[in-house]
Amino acid sequence: MPLSLSELALRTGATVAGDGAVVVSHVATLESAGPGSIAFLANPRYRTQLAATRASAVIVAPDMAAQTVLPKLVAREPYVVYAKVASILHPPALAVPGTHPTAVVDPRARVAASATIGANAVIGADAVIGERSRIGAGCVVGAGVSIGDDATLHANVTIYDRCIVGPRGILHSGVVIGADGFGMADENGRWLKIPQIGRVVIGADVEIGANTTVDRGAIDDTVIENDVKLDNQIQVAHNCRIGAHTAIAGCVGIAGSARIGRNCRIGGAAMIGGHLEICDGAVVSGGTQVFESITVPGVFTAVFPALPHAKWRRVASGVRRLPELESRVSRLEKEAAAARGAAAPDAVKGQR
């Protein structure tokens, strides 16, 4: 729905500079914007596009407001305002409450009258589907599962028995919640499966990207706290706990019983070892392998920077020889210390 800049300012907390009566209907990038669109500048490297944009209005930080004559929303965090504006101008399509004729809903399930159950979805016994929740086509919601109010399960999400998804959760296609954790005992060279009897408990306002998997606990629950954001293709193993407001990028692997604190950020393809802790506020760079607990907030990186292949081979070869070099240095230091010790009596004798 088209709105004036002044109305958007009221709804986002931004300040209007210029003609507040300008009406916009959609968001766009600075480069692709045209009449009726509103663009934003959050990264200074794109400031050259600000002068050339054909947007009807822009969203900028205070220090960039003078760089354009266009009507604008001014805010200390322009990207946050952009997110709010995009949500206002591009709301999700309204769902029609009801259950599709092809869905299979167990008689013992409790489905709110305002909920939407899509085609070929399956709702198990004693499952609870909250008010205004949307269960997409082909979803499977197991027995005893609880789905909170206003949650959205996109097509083909699977929630195993007894797991919990909090209110306003968003689970994208292919997400699997509550599959068995990888628990095996070695019995004379043969793997003996350990029953996984815990659950997955997901808090409020959690978003989980496509094809991400969260395993149930072996005994205790796997827990994802409020407002956690998980990208696509992440593996969360059994008995993990992820603290509130943490964001984790795609292809991260988290081994069993790891505990990740609140307000953490973990870059794509990082690997988190099992049975360790990452403290509140830690930032782990993409591709980093974490094998020991992180106990002090900060940025942690263990990625070898990209180099031309031939140079990388030379550097990697040097790194491989570090233990040998350390041993040689240690031996030389001992020999030097011994030589100094032997020379000391002669020096004293010469002074007599």
- The pLDDT tens digits of the residues spanning 296-305 come to 999 999 988 8
Q: What pLDDT shows up at residue 187?
A: 96
Same structural domain, 152 and 181: yes
What pTM was estimated for this model as a whole? 0.89
pLDDT over 70 (residue 20): yes
Q: What pLDDT shows up at residue 344?
A: 65
Same structural domain, 82 and 106: no
Q: What pLDDT shows up at residue 132?
A: 97
Instruction: List, as one string, the DSSP characters of 77-104.
Output: SHHHHHHHHHHHHSPPPPPPPEE-TT-E
Last residue of a domain, one of 300, 320, 340: 300
State how many domains the chain has: 3
* Three-state SS at 291: coil
Q: What pLDDT shows up at residue 43?
A: 87
Q: What pLDDT shows up at residue 303?
A: 81
C-alpha distance from residue 236 to each of 42, 163, 297 (Å): 32, 15, 22
pLDDT, one tens digit per residue, over 68-112 is 999 999 999 999 999 999 999 999 988 899 999 999 999 999 999
Q: What pLDDT shows up at residue 28?
A: 97
Owning domain of residue 37: 3-89
Q: How many CB atoms lie within 10 A of CB 15?
A: 15
Q: Active-site residue among 238, 245, 275, 309?
A: 238
Same structural domain, 168 and 270: yes
Of 255, 260, 249, 252, the closest CA to residue 225 belongs to 260
Average pLDDT of the chain, as a whole number: 95
Same structural domain, 120 and 263: yes
Same structural domain, 155 and 270: yes
Residue whose entry in the numeric block shows the structure tokens 């930080």: 61
pLDDT over 80 (residue 349): no
Q: Bridge-partner residues for 326, per DSSP?
A: none
**Contact yes or no for 58/68 (Cβ under 8 A):** yes
Same structural domain, 147 and 293: yes
Same structural domain, 119 and 219: yes
Reported residue count of the chain is 352
Which letter, b or e, does each residue of 18-34 get, where b requires 16 or more Cβ atoms within 10 Å of its Cβ?
bebebebeebbebeebe
Is 238 noted as a catalytic residue in this protein? yes
pLDDT, one tens digit per residue, over 194-248 is 999 999 999 999 999 999 999 999 999 999 999 999 999 999 999 999 999 999 9
d(CA 54, CA 33): 6
Pairing of strands 23-24, 3-4: antiparallel
Q: Average of pLDDT values for 332-344?
A: 84
Distant-in-sequence, close-in-space partners of 144: CB < 8 Å, separation ≥ 6: 124, 125, 126, 127, 161, 162
Residue whose entry in the numeric block shows the structure tokens 């830690």: 282
Q: What pLDDT shows up at residue 347?
A: 58
* Three-state SS at 51: helix
Same structural domain, 198 and 287: yes
pLDDT, one tens digit per residue, over 151-208 is 999 999 999 999 999 999 999 999 999 999 999 999 999 999 999 999 999 999 999 9
**Domain of 175: which CATH number?**
2.160.10.10
Q: What pLDDT shows up at residue 219?
A: 95
Same structural domain, 194 and 61: no
Q: What pLDDT shows up at residue 306?
A: 87
Phi and psi, residue 286, nearest 5°: -55, 140
Same structural domain, 119 and 69: no
**Sign of the Cα pseudo-torsion (315, 319, 321, 326, in order):** positive
Same structural domain, 218 and 285: yes
Angle formed by the axes of helices 78-89 and 5-12, to 10°?
110
d(CA 99, CA 303): 49
Same structural domain, 236 and 284: yes
C-alpha distance from residue 270 to each of 55, 203, 288, 323 (Å): 38, 23, 5, 26
C-alpha distance from residue 84 to each of 9, 43, 75, 138, 308 (Å): 10, 18, 12, 31, 42
Q: What pLDDT shows up at residue 76?
A: 96
